[in-house]
Amino acid sequence: MTDVQEIRVMIVDDHPLMRSGIAGEINSQRDMQVVAEASNGVEAIAAYRVHRPDVTLMDIRMPDMGGIEAITQIRATYPAAKFVVLTSSAGDVQAMRALQAGATGYLLKNLLRTELIDTIRVVHSGRRKIPAEIAQQIAEHAMEDVVSARELEVLRGVSQGKANKIIADDLCISEHTVKNHIKSILSKLDASDRTDAVVIAIRRGYIEM
């Protein structure tokens, strides 16, 4: 018999129970082994240098440094690094950011039990693995105008319930400019009002609450 090539995996998630559950599933496979764990992006970068895993499972929302920034920094030094993003959000904007950073797998946490092992194998083989519902969302919004960085700042102020004047003061711009940004945001998100814009922005992953 030939030896089975072992897939070496690193798990990055700020919840110990989540890491433990994922590790148990991976280590139960005869051709996989968890070689490192980390609780945030900073730890992930340091651990990657030491262990050089074949596939890294990377949560997006973590303290100190999130997953997308960690992927970007690791791939700047190790361009062949392979990542599967773990997230609870099905938003197309967040998914696109992860893919642009260099992830080739995207896995919703509610699919971990059924899709985890197959996703690791697919990404390790050099292919992409993205849930159909997210791929469809990306395709649907591909031709739309992207909300700009300044518009995102305004949108975050709106999501915090701030009046236009307060947002203007915070950003050192005029209230008229804030109103123009909001008008543009409503158009780009196809939102009926400020509240609707915030709901859509959260669902698609433009902002987090």
Residue 25: left if φ>0, alpha if ψ -120 to 50, beta else—which one? alpha
Q: How far apart are CA 46 and CA 68, in angstroms?
A: 15
**What would the CATH number be for the domain defined by 7-140?**
3.40.50.2300
pLDDT, residue 151, reads 93
Q: How far apart are CA 142 and CA 134, in angstroms?
A: 12
Residue 113: left if φ>0, alpha if ψ -120 to 50, beta else—which one? alpha
81 Cβ partners below 8 Å, 6+ apart? 48, 56, 71, 74, 75, 102
pLDDT, residue 85, reads 94
CATH 1.10.10.10 in the chain: give the residue spans. Answer: 149-204
In the chain, which residues have pLDDT < 70? 1-4, 142-143, 209
Q: In the numeric block, which tokens belong to residue 70?
A: 């960690």
pLDDT, residue 127, reads 95
CATH 3.40.50.2300 in the chain: give the residue spans. Answer: 7-140
pLDDT, residue 209, reads 66
pLDDT, residue 1, reads 41
- C-alpha angle 81-36-76 in degrees, rounded to nearest 5: 25
pLDDT, residue 122, reads 96
pLDDT, residue 92, reads 82
pTM, two decimals, is 0.76
**Among 51, 45, 43, 47, which Cα is nearest to 71's?**
45
Residues paired with residue 55 on neighbouring β-strands, in sequence order: 9
Report the Cα 69 to chain-centroid distance in Å.
Answer: 9
Tokens 């946490």 found at: 109
The topology (CATH level 3) of 149-204 is: Arc Repressor Mutant, subunit A (1.10.10)
